[in-house]
Copies of this chain bind each other. A is one copy, B any other.
Protein backbone atom coordinates (compact mmCIF):
# COMPACT_ATOMS: atom_id res chain seq x y z
CA UNK A 1 0.00 0.00 0.00
CA UNK A 2 1.39 3.39 -1.00
CA UNK A 3 0.78 6.82 0.50
CA UNK A 4 3.87 7.76 2.44
CA UNK A 5 4.98 11.33 1.97
CA UNK A 6 7.16 14.01 3.46
CA UNK A 7 5.34 15.97 6.15
CA UNK A 8 6.06 19.69 6.44
CA UNK A 9 5.21 22.10 9.25
CA UNK A 10 2.41 24.66 9.04
CA UNK A 11 5.06 27.42 9.06
CA UNK A 12 6.70 25.90 5.98
CA UNK A 13 3.32 25.47 4.35
CA UNK A 14 2.46 29.13 4.97
CA UNK A 15 5.84 30.03 3.46
CA UNK A 16 4.82 28.26 0.25
CA UNK A 17 1.76 30.49 -0.01
CA UNK A 18 4.08 33.44 -0.66
CA UNK A 19 4.51 32.11 -4.19
CA UNK A 20 0.98 33.31 -4.93
CA UNK A 21 0.45 36.98 -5.76
CA UNK A 22 -2.44 39.30 -4.83
CA UNK A 23 -5.18 39.40 -7.44
CA UNK A 24 -5.68 42.21 -9.94
CA UNK A 25 -7.33 45.49 -8.94
CA UNK A 26 -10.82 46.62 -9.85
CA UNK A 27 -12.80 49.80 -9.25
CA UNK A 28 -15.89 49.67 -7.08
CA UNK A 29 -18.48 52.15 -5.86
CA UNK A 30 -17.94 52.78 -2.18
CA UNK A 31 -21.28 51.25 -1.21
CA UNK A 32 -19.94 47.87 -2.30
CA UNK A 33 -16.56 48.32 -0.61
CA UNK A 34 -17.14 46.85 2.86
CA UNK A 35 -14.49 44.24 3.66
CA UNK A 36 -12.59 44.79 0.41
CA UNK A 37 -8.85 45.46 0.41
CA UNK A 38 -7.29 48.60 -1.07
CA UNK A 39 -4.99 48.04 -4.05
CA UNK A 40 -3.27 51.41 -3.61
CA UNK A 41 -2.76 54.21 -1.08
CA UNK A 42 -5.52 56.78 -0.83
CA UNK A 43 -4.47 60.40 -0.49
CA UNK A 44 -6.62 63.37 0.34
CA UNK A 45 -7.66 65.42 -2.72
CA UNK A 46 -8.53 68.52 -0.67
CA UNK A 47 -8.00 69.68 2.91
CA UNK A 48 -10.48 68.31 5.43
CA UNK A 49 -12.40 70.08 6.76
CA UNK A 50 -12.44 72.47 3.81
CA UNK A 51 -13.16 75.37 6.18
CA UNK A 52 -12.77 76.12 9.88
CA UNK A 53 -15.71 74.60 11.78
CA UNK A 54 -17.20 74.97 15.23
CA UNK A 55 -17.08 71.84 17.41
CA UNK A 56 -19.58 73.20 19.93
CA UNK A 57 -22.82 75.12 19.92
CA UNK A 58 -22.19 78.68 21.07
CA UNK A 59 -20.81 81.98 19.85
CA UNK A 60 -18.02 82.49 17.35
CA UNK A 61 -15.66 85.23 18.56
CA UNK A 62 -12.31 86.87 18.07
CA UNK A 63 -10.58 85.35 21.11
CA UNK A 64 -8.96 88.63 22.17
CA UNK A 65 -12.43 90.11 22.76
CA UNK A 66 -12.93 87.57 25.58
CA UNK A 67 -9.60 87.91 27.36
CA UNK A 68 -10.03 88.60 31.06
CA UNK A 69 -13.78 88.15 31.20
CA UNK A 70 -15.49 86.10 33.94
CA UNK A 71 -18.90 85.36 35.49
CA UNK A 72 -18.75 88.56 37.49
CA UNK A 73 -17.20 90.68 34.75
CA UNK A 74 -18.56 89.26 31.51
CA UNK A 75 -17.51 90.64 28.12
CA UNK A 76 -20.42 92.23 26.28
CA UNK A 77 -20.38 91.43 22.56
CA UNK A 78 -22.68 92.55 19.79
CA UNK A 79 -24.48 89.76 17.93
CA UNK A 80 -23.74 90.42 14.26
CA UNK A 81 -25.75 87.46 13.07
CA UNK A 82 -26.33 83.73 13.25
CA UNK A 83 -24.39 81.26 11.13
CA UNK A 84 -27.02 79.16 9.43
CA UNK A 85 -25.87 75.55 8.94
CA UNK A 86 -24.41 75.20 5.48
CA UNK A 87 -24.00 78.89 4.81
CA UNK A 88 -20.57 80.03 3.65
CA UNK A 89 -18.14 81.63 6.09
CA UNK A 90 -17.60 84.57 3.77
CA UNK A 91 -21.13 85.85 4.35
CA UNK A 92 -20.17 87.39 7.64
CA UNK A 93 -16.98 89.02 8.88
CA UNK A 94 -16.65 89.81 12.56
CA UNK A 95 -15.56 93.31 13.49
CA UNK A 96 -13.90 93.83 16.90
CA UNK A 97 -16.51 93.46 19.66
CA UNK A 98 -18.81 91.39 17.42
CA UNK A 99 -19.90 87.79 17.70
CA UNK A 100 -22.18 85.37 15.85
CA UNK A 101 -24.32 82.51 17.11
CA UNK A 102 -23.07 79.21 15.68
CA UNK A 103 -23.94 75.50 15.85
CA UNK A 104 -21.67 72.51 15.98
CA UNK A 105 -20.29 71.98 12.48
CA UNK A 106 -21.01 75.53 11.34
CA UNK A 107 -18.43 77.44 9.29
CA UNK A 108 -16.57 80.07 11.30
CA UNK A 109 -17.19 83.67 10.16
CA UNK A 110 -14.27 85.55 8.63
CA UNK A 111 -11.85 86.85 11.32
CA UNK A 112 -13.41 84.68 14.06
CA UNK A 113 -10.82 82.32 15.57
CA UNK A 114 -12.68 80.49 18.36
CA UNK A 115 -16.06 79.52 19.80
CA UNK A 116 -17.39 80.16 23.31
CA UNK A 117 -19.61 77.29 24.46
CA UNK A 118 -23.24 78.27 24.90
CA UNK A 119 -23.07 77.22 28.56
CA UNK A 120 -20.71 80.15 29.27
CA UNK A 121 -22.85 82.78 27.61
CA UNK A 122 -25.97 84.71 28.54
CA UNK A 123 -28.02 86.36 25.84
CA UNK A 124 -29.31 89.72 27.03
CA UNK A 125 -31.35 90.60 23.95
CA UNK A 126 -31.38 90.07 20.19
CA UNK A 127 -28.25 92.10 19.76
CA UNK A 128 -26.18 91.52 22.89
CA UNK A 129 -24.62 88.51 24.62
CA UNK A 130 -22.55 88.22 27.80
CA UNK A 131 -19.43 86.08 27.50
CA UNK A 132 -18.49 84.60 30.90
CA UNK A 133 -15.31 82.67 30.05
CA UNK A 134 -12.32 83.67 27.97
CA UNK A 135 -11.21 81.43 25.06
CA UNK A 136 -7.86 81.12 23.31
CA UNK A 137 -7.56 81.22 19.50
CA UNK A 138 -8.50 77.76 18.17
CA UNK A 139 -10.69 76.81 21.13
CA UNK A 140 -13.74 74.72 20.10
CA UNK A 141 -12.77 75.03 16.47
CA UNK A 142 -11.31 72.63 13.90
CA UNK A 143 -9.15 74.61 11.49
CA UNK A 144 -9.16 74.02 7.74
CA UNK A 145 -7.08 70.91 6.98
CA UNK A 146 -6.69 69.98 10.66
CA UNK A 147 -8.21 66.56 10.06
CA UNK A 148 -6.35 65.81 6.82
CA UNK A 149 -3.95 68.13 5.00
CA UNK A 150 -4.06 68.12 1.22
CA UNK A 151 -2.16 65.05 -0.01
CA UNK A 152 -2.09 63.22 3.34
CA UNK A 153 -2.35 59.43 3.12
CA UNK A 154 -5.67 58.36 4.65
CA UNK A 155 -5.48 54.63 4.08
CA UNK A 156 -2.72 52.45 2.74
CA UNK A 157 -2.62 49.69 0.17
CA UNK A 158 -3.53 46.38 1.79
CA UNK A 159 -6.01 47.91 4.26
CA UNK A 160 -9.33 46.10 4.61
CA UNK A 161 -12.17 48.61 4.47
CA UNK A 162 -14.28 48.95 7.62
CA UNK A 163 -17.43 51.07 7.99
CA UNK A 164 -15.48 53.97 9.51
CA UNK A 165 -12.99 53.89 6.61
CA UNK A 166 -15.81 54.06 4.07
CA UNK A 167 -17.23 57.02 5.98
CA UNK A 168 -13.94 58.89 5.87
CA UNK A 169 -13.61 58.21 2.13
CA UNK A 170 -17.11 59.58 1.60
CA UNK A 171 -16.08 62.63 3.62
CA UNK A 172 -13.17 63.43 1.31
CA UNK A 173 -15.27 62.87 -1.78
CA UNK A 174 -13.84 59.51 -2.83
CA UNK A 175 -16.85 57.52 -3.98
CA UNK A 176 -15.05 54.77 -5.86
CA UNK A 177 -12.26 52.64 -4.46
CA UNK A 178 -9.60 50.59 -6.23
CA UNK A 179 -9.53 47.24 -4.49
CA UNK A 180 -8.21 43.77 -5.17
CA UNK A 181 -10.56 41.40 -6.88
CA UNK A 182 -12.24 38.85 -4.57
CA UNK A 183 -10.78 35.35 -4.84
CA UNK A 184 -12.99 33.03 -6.89
CA UNK A 185 -12.90 29.64 -5.24
CA UNK A 186 -14.07 26.51 -7.06
CA UNK A 187 -15.25 23.70 -4.78
CA UNK A 188 -15.39 20.07 -5.84
CA UNK A 189 -16.43 17.17 -3.63
CA UNK A 190 -15.25 13.75 -4.72
CA UNK A 191 -16.65 10.41 -3.78
CA UNK A 192 -18.74 7.64 -5.31
CA UNK A 193 -20.67 7.54 -2.05
CA UNK A 194 -21.85 11.16 -2.25
CA UNK A 195 -25.23 12.52 -3.29
CA UNK A 196 -26.32 16.18 -3.27
CA UNK A 197 -27.93 17.35 -0.01
CA UNK A 198 -31.39 17.57 -1.59
CA UNK A 199 -31.38 13.88 -2.58
CA UNK A 200 -32.25 10.92 -0.39
CA UNK A 201 -29.14 8.73 -0.30
CA UNK A 202 -29.51 5.14 -1.53
CA UNK A 203 -28.13 2.48 0.86
CA UNK A 204 -24.38 3.01 1.33
CA UNK A 205 -24.52 6.60 0.06
CA UNK A 206 -24.37 9.79 2.11
CA UNK A 207 -25.04 13.43 1.43
CA UNK A 208 -22.28 15.81 0.39
CA UNK A 209 -21.53 18.00 3.40
CA UNK A 210 -18.24 19.54 2.31
CA UNK A 211 -19.52 21.59 -0.62
CA UNK A 212 -21.97 23.49 1.57
CA UNK A 213 -19.49 23.94 4.41
CA UNK A 214 -16.57 25.06 2.25
CA UNK A 215 -18.76 27.45 0.25
CA UNK A 216 -19.91 29.12 3.47
CA UNK A 217 -16.33 29.31 4.79
CA UNK A 218 -15.23 30.96 1.53
CA UNK A 219 -18.14 33.39 1.70
CA UNK A 220 -17.38 34.20 5.30
CA UNK A 221 -13.84 35.28 4.53
CA UNK A 222 -14.82 37.41 1.57
CA UNK A 223 -14.22 35.02 -1.32
CA UNK A 224 -16.66 34.08 -4.05
CA UNK A 225 -17.57 30.38 -3.81
CA UNK A 226 -18.25 28.48 -7.03
CA UNK A 227 -19.71 25.10 -6.14
CA UNK A 228 -18.96 22.60 -8.92
CA UNK A 229 -20.74 19.73 -7.23
CA UNK A 230 -19.75 16.11 -6.85
CA UNK A 231 -17.36 14.09 -9.00
CA UNK A 232 -16.98 10.33 -8.83
CA UNK A 233 -13.82 8.61 -7.61
CA UNK A 234 -12.05 8.69 -10.94
CA UNK A 235 -8.86 10.40 -11.98
CA UNK A 236 -10.44 11.28 -15.33
CA UNK A 237 -13.55 12.84 -13.80
CA UNK A 238 -11.59 14.79 -11.24
CA UNK A 239 -9.12 16.04 -13.86
CA UNK A 240 -12.09 17.18 -15.92
CA UNK A 241 -13.46 18.98 -12.84
CA UNK A 242 -10.15 20.77 -12.32
CA UNK A 243 -10.05 21.89 -15.96
CA UNK A 244 -13.59 23.17 -15.62
CA UNK A 245 -12.50 25.17 -12.56
CA UNK A 246 -9.55 26.63 -14.49
CA UNK A 247 -11.88 27.68 -17.30
CA UNK A 248 -14.21 29.62 -14.97
CA UNK A 249 -11.59 30.97 -14.24
CA UNK A 250 -11.07 30.15 -10.56
CA UNK A 251 -8.21 31.49 -8.46
CA UNK A 252 -8.33 28.61 -6.01
CA UNK A 253 -9.63 25.06 -6.41
CA UNK A 254 -10.63 23.10 -3.31
CA UNK A 255 -10.92 19.36 -3.79
CA UNK A 256 -12.19 17.43 -0.85
CA UNK A 257 -12.84 13.81 -0.27
CA UNK A 258 -9.37 12.46 -0.91
CA UNK A 259 -8.58 11.62 2.67
CA UNK A 260 -8.31 7.86 2.42
CA UNK A 261 -4.92 6.65 1.26
CA UNK A 262 -6.16 5.46 -2.12
CA UNK A 263 -7.95 8.66 -2.94
CA UNK A 264 -5.08 10.80 -1.73
CA UNK A 265 -2.90 9.14 -4.30
CA UNK A 266 -5.35 9.85 -7.01
CA UNK A 267 -5.77 13.53 -6.10
CA UNK A 268 -1.99 13.70 -6.44
CA UNK A 269 -2.24 11.91 -9.77
CA UNK A 270 -4.72 14.53 -10.99
CA UNK A 271 -2.42 17.39 -9.99
CA UNK A 272 0.43 15.68 -11.79
CA UNK A 273 -1.65 15.29 -14.94
CA UNK A 274 -2.58 18.98 -15.17
CA UNK A 275 -0.21 20.93 -17.43
CA UNK A 276 2.31 23.31 -15.84
CA UNK A 277 1.15 22.28 -12.41
CA UNK A 278 3.63 21.82 -9.61
CA UNK A 279 2.90 19.94 -6.40
CA UNK A 280 4.24 22.14 -3.60
CA UNK A 281 3.27 20.15 -0.53
CA UNK A 282 1.96 16.70 0.18
CA UNK A 283 1.32 16.19 3.84
CA UNK A 284 1.39 18.62 6.77
CA UNK A 285 2.37 17.70 10.32
CA UNK A 286 -0.92 18.70 11.87
CA UNK A 287 -3.81 16.78 13.25
CA UNK A 288 -6.34 16.75 11.85
CA UNK A 289 -5.31 17.64 8.33
CA UNK A 290 -2.20 15.57 7.69
CA UNK A 291 -3.05 14.45 4.12
CA UNK A 292 -3.43 18.02 2.77
CA UNK A 293 -1.97 18.60 -0.70
CA UNK A 294 -1.06 21.95 -2.28
CA UNK A 295 -0.33 22.42 -5.99
CA UNK A 296 0.18 25.49 -8.14
CA UNK A 297 -0.45 26.34 -11.76
CA UNK A 298 0.77 29.89 -12.40
CA UNK A 299 -1.22 31.89 -9.82
CA UNK A 300 -3.93 29.28 -9.29
CA UNK A 301 -3.77 27.21 -6.10
CA UNK A 302 -5.11 23.66 -5.85
CA UNK A 303 -5.82 22.23 -2.44
CA UNK A 304 -6.46 18.57 -1.78
CA UNK A 305 -8.39 18.66 1.50
CA UNK A 306 -9.24 15.81 3.86
CA UNK A 307 -12.57 14.19 3.17
CA UNK A 308 -14.02 14.46 6.65
CA UNK A 309 -15.64 17.83 7.07
CA UNK A 310 -14.24 18.37 10.56
CA UNK A 311 -10.70 17.98 9.25
CA UNK A 312 -11.46 20.02 6.14
CA UNK A 313 -12.65 22.91 8.35
CA UNK A 314 -9.42 22.87 10.35
CA UNK A 315 -7.31 22.87 7.18
CA UNK A 316 -9.43 25.64 5.72
CA UNK A 317 -8.92 27.90 8.74
CA UNK A 318 -5.21 27.16 9.08
CA UNK A 319 -4.02 26.91 5.49
CA UNK A 320 -6.66 28.06 2.99
CA UNK A 321 -7.81 31.22 4.76
CA UNK A 322 -4.28 32.72 4.81
CA UNK A 323 -4.05 32.17 1.04
CA UNK A 324 -7.41 33.85 0.47
CA UNK A 325 -6.22 36.81 2.57
CA UNK A 326 -3.04 36.99 0.52
CA UNK A 327 -4.90 36.83 -2.80
CA UNK A 328 -7.31 39.50 -1.56
CA UNK A 329 -4.27 41.70 -0.97
CA UNK A 330 -4.52 42.28 2.77
CA UNK A 331 -1.34 43.14 4.63
CA UNK A 332 -2.86 42.39 8.03
CA UNK A 333 -1.83 39.23 9.81
CA UNK A 334 -4.30 36.70 8.47
CA UNK A 335 -6.08 34.08 10.45
CA UNK A 336 -8.66 33.64 13.12
CA UNK A 337 -8.88 35.67 16.28
CA UNK A 338 -6.91 34.04 19.07
CA UNK A 339 -7.46 34.03 22.80
CA UNK A 340 -5.64 32.37 25.69
CA UNK A 341 -7.72 29.81 27.54
CA UNK A 342 -7.12 27.24 30.26
CA UNK A 343 -7.44 23.50 29.68
CA UNK A 344 -10.34 21.98 31.64
CA UNK A 345 -8.56 18.62 31.74
CA UNK A 346 -5.38 16.94 30.59
CA UNK A 347 -5.13 16.91 26.78
CA UNK A 348 -2.54 14.49 25.41
CA UNK A 349 -0.62 15.03 22.18
CA UNK A 350 2.51 13.82 20.41
CA UNK A 351 5.85 15.60 20.00
CA UNK A 352 6.55 16.65 16.41
CA UNK A 353 2.93 17.28 15.43
CA UNK A 354 0.66 20.28 15.91
CA UNK A 355 -2.73 19.28 17.28
CA UNK A 356 -5.87 21.30 16.81
CA UNK A 357 -8.41 20.14 19.36
CA UNK A 358 -12.01 21.25 19.07
CA UNK A 359 -13.08 22.95 22.30
CA UNK A 360 -16.13 24.53 23.87
CA UNK A 361 -15.42 27.71 25.84
CA UNK A 362 -16.95 29.16 28.95
CA UNK A 363 -15.88 31.80 31.45
CA UNK A 364 -14.84 30.39 34.80
CA UNK A 365 -15.34 31.94 38.22
CA UNK A 366 -11.66 32.27 39.13
CA UNK A 367 -10.21 35.48 37.67
CA UNK A 368 -12.86 35.28 34.95
CA UNK A 369 -10.55 32.97 33.02
CA UNK A 370 -11.76 31.32 29.84
CA UNK A 371 -11.95 27.54 30.21
CA UNK A 372 -11.52 25.32 27.17
CA UNK A 373 -13.18 21.90 27.33
CA UNK A 374 -12.30 19.42 24.57
CA UNK A 375 -15.26 18.30 22.46
CA UNK A 376 -14.15 14.80 21.66
CA UNK A 377 -15.88 12.52 19.24
CA UNK A 378 -14.86 10.02 16.64
CA UNK A 379 -13.43 11.67 13.57
CA UNK A 380 -16.47 10.92 11.44
CA UNK A 381 -19.02 12.61 13.68
CA UNK A 382 -20.64 15.93 12.90
CA UNK A 383 -22.16 16.84 16.23
CA UNK A 384 -18.85 17.92 17.82
CA UNK A 385 -18.60 20.55 15.07
CA UNK A 386 -21.81 22.16 16.15
CA UNK A 387 -20.89 22.05 19.82
CA UNK A 388 -17.44 23.65 19.59
CA UNK A 389 -16.38 27.29 19.67
CA UNK A 390 -12.83 27.04 18.39
CA UNK A 391 -9.61 25.06 18.03
CA UNK A 392 -7.13 24.71 20.86
CA UNK A 393 -3.53 24.66 19.61
CA UNK A 394 -1.01 22.16 20.97
CA UNK A 395 2.42 22.98 19.62
CA UNK A 396 4.91 20.54 18.09
CA UNK A 397 7.32 20.60 20.99
CA UNK A 398 4.99 19.30 23.69
CA UNK A 399 3.35 16.05 24.68
CA UNK A 400 0.14 17.81 25.58
CA UNK A 401 -1.40 20.06 28.17
CA UNK A 402 -1.96 19.54 31.85
CA UNK A 403 -5.25 20.42 33.46
CA UNK A 404 -5.23 24.18 34.13
CA UNK A 405 -2.45 24.87 31.66
CA UNK A 406 -2.82 27.86 29.31
CA UNK A 407 -3.05 27.45 25.56
CA UNK A 408 -4.04 29.44 22.53
CA UNK A 409 -7.52 28.93 21.09
CA UNK A 410 -8.40 29.98 17.53
CA UNK A 411 -11.98 31.23 17.64
CA UNK A 412 -14.41 30.16 14.94
CA UNK A 413 -15.69 33.36 13.34
Q: Which of B53, B162, B165, B204 lies in contact with A413, CB distance below 8 A?
A: B162
Determine how close the nearest CB of chain B comes to the CB of A204; give it in whole angstroms.
Answer: 4
Residues of chain B with a CB closer than 8 A to A260's CB: 57, 103-105
Given the complex, which residues of B lie within 8 Å of A89, measured CB to CB? 203-204
Complex Cα–Cα for A85 and B203 (A): 11
Determine the chain B residues whose CB is within 8 A of the CB of A165 once the complex forms.
Answer: 386
Shortest distance between the CB of A123 and any CB in chain B (Å): 8
> Which of B30, B380, B385 is A197 in contact with, Cβ under 8 Å?
B30
Q: Are B386 and A168 in contact (CB under 8 A)?
A: yes
Does A50 lie within 8 Å of B162, measured CB to CB?
no
User: Of B34, B55, B201, B233, which one neighbours A219 at CB under 8 angstroms?
Assistant: B34
A:109-139 near B, CB below 8 Å: 118, 123
**A118 CA to B309 CA, complexed, in Å:** 22
A14 in contact (CB, < 8 A): no
Interface size classification for chain A:
35 or more
Contact with B along A1-26 (1 / 0, CB 8 A): 10000000000000000000000000
Chain B residues closer than 8 Å to A308, beta-carbon distance: 104-105
| Residue contact B203 to A385, C-beta cutoff 8 Å | no
Q: A197-B170, A307-B104 are in contact. Are A142 and B215 (CB under 8 A)?
A: no
Q: Please judge, given known A-B contacts A118-B261, A412-B164, whether A171 and B206 are in contact too, CB under 8 Å.
A: yes
A166 on the B face (CB < 8 A) = yes
A150 smallest CB distance to B (angstroms): 14
A379 within 8 A of B: yes
- The verdict on A71 contacting chain B, using a C-beta distance below 8 Å, is no
Is A171 a contact of B209 with CB atoms below 8 Å? Answer: yes
A84 interface residue (CB < 8 Å to B)? yes
Give chain B residues whose Cβ lies under 8 Å from the Cβ of A352.
Answer: none
Residues from chain B with a CB closer than 8 A to the CB of A148 are 382-383
Q: How far is the CB of A245 from chain B (nearest CB, A)?
A: 18
Given contact pairs A201-B50, A381-B146, A105 touches B171 in the complex (Cβ within 8 A): no
Complex interface residues of chain A between 143 and 197 (CB less than 8 A to chain B): 146-148, 154-155, 162-175, 191-194, 197
Q: A57 near B173 (CB under 8 angstroms)?
A: no
Cβ of A31 within 8 Å of any chain B Cβ, yes or no, is: yes
Binary CB contact string for chain A from 263 to 296 against chain B (1 if under 8 A, 0 otherwise) = 1000000000000000000000000000000000
A211 proximity list for chain B (CB < 8 A): 170
A216 touches B385 (CB 8 A): no
Q: Interface on A for B, CB 8 Å cutoff?
A: 1, 30-31, 33-35, 48-51, 53, 55, 57, 84-91, 103-107, 118, 123, 142, 146-148, 154-155, 162-175, 191-194, 197-198, 200-217, 219-220, 227, 233, 259-263, 307-309, 313, 337, 339, 378-383, 385-386, 412-413
Known: A34-B219, A89-B204, A105-B193. 16 other contacts (CB 8 A): A53-B380, A84-B192, A85-B193, A85-B233, A86-B193, A89-B203, A104-B380, A147-B381, A163-B213, A164-B412, A167-B382, A168-B386, A170-B197, A170-B207, A175-B197, A339-B339
List of 10 A-B pairs having minimum Cβ-Cβ separation, nearest first? A167-B213, A86-B193, A88-B203, A163-B216, A88-B204, A170-B197, A86-B192, A170-B212, A103-B260, A171-B209
